[in-house]
């Protein structure tokens, strides 16, 4: 409908092309997909007048895309460090067992401290 569009816009992209790239797993990262969205919104702003609804919508959608990217990055950072979490659980379990006391206040682990360092069976350690 607008033949001059391709004279003004050197790298055209639209939602259909972005959707095709998404379905065919062509995006290697979130950054790649967001850059296509930003390109599409930049193209809309470049081609349309600043007071047009399309221009205003493109700016708003670009802001939403960038905010969503930041939010997704924050969520990625919220992934726990599994090794540290397991180590923390094991340490907590060890401390709980080591310090567990009976009703008289004696630590169960104290009785283990009284064991000989080596058991001798048939004269062997």
So what's the pLDDT on residue 92? 72
Three-state DSSP at 106 gives coil
Mean pLDDT of the chain: 82
Cβ-Cβ contacts under 8 Å for 48 (sequence gap 6 or more):
54, 55, 58
Strand intervals (E) in the chain: none
Mean pLDDT calculated for residue range 11-36: 92
Three-state DSSP at 3 gives coil
Averaging pLDDT over each range in 8-12, 73-77, 121-125, which range is the top one? 8-12
So what's the pLDDT on residue 105? 76
This prediction's pTM: 0.60
Query: Contact, 46 vs 54, CB < 8 A?
Result: no
Cβ-Cβ contacts under 8 Å for 108 (sequence gap 6 or more):
97, 100, 101, 102
Query: Contact, 45 vs 55, CB < 8 A?
Result: yes
Q: How far apart are the C-alpha atoms of 94 and 12, rounded to whole Å?
A: 61
What does the pLDDT look like over 27-73, one tens digit per residue?
Answer: 988 889 999 999 999 999 999 999 999 999 999 999 999 999 888 88
């Amino acid at each position: 409908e607008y033949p001059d569009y391709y004279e003004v816009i050197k790298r055209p992209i639209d939602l259909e092309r972005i959707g095709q790239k998404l379905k065919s797993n062509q995006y290697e990262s979130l950054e790649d997909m967001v850059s296509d969205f930003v390109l599409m919104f930049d193209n809309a702003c470049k081609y349309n007048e600043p007071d047009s609804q399309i221009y205003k919508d493109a700016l708003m959608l670009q802001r939403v895309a960038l905010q969503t990217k930041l939010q997704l990055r924050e969520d990625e950072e919220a992934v726990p460090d599994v090794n540290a979490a397991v180590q923390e659980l094991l340490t907590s379990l060890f401390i709980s067992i080591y310090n567990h006391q009976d009703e008289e206040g004696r630590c169960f682990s104290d009785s283990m401290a009284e064991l000989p360092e080596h058991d001798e069976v048939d004269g062997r350690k």
